[in-house]
Amino acid sequence: MIVTARERQRFKRANRLARTDDQIVAARIARHPDGLKWCPGCQRQLPFHAFAESRREVDGLSPRCFGCRAHRDEQETRP
């Protein structure tokens, strides 16, 4: 059976979205055992509560912290 890259990507995303909360927390702790996550926007390590939850991400947290997301959203909405 030939599977296209797009189909493989959809399958991976569906599996990520179907994970339980316990699986997400386990992945988060495995990736960030110190309880901190790097924010590429502000270039700092911040605690988990500084990030929004996102089932699409492997660790269940958005890539950027709340502050960086707000700053980016503010810049995008300016005329």
- Encode pLDDT of 4-54 as tens digits: 888 888 888 787 777 888 988 998 999 999 999 999 999 999 999 999 999
Q: How far apart are CA 34 and CA 14, in angstroms?
A: 28
Q: What pLDDT was estimated at residue 1?
A: 66
Give the H or E element holding residue 36.
strand 36-39
Q: How far apart are CA 70 and CA 57, in angstroms?
A: 19
Of 29, 35, 31, 33, nearest to 50 by C-alpha is 35
Domain that holds residue 56: 5-77
pTM of the model: 0.74
CB atoms within 10 A of CB 55: 12
Backbone angles phi, psi at 40, to 5 degrees: -70, -20
Total of domains in the chain = 1
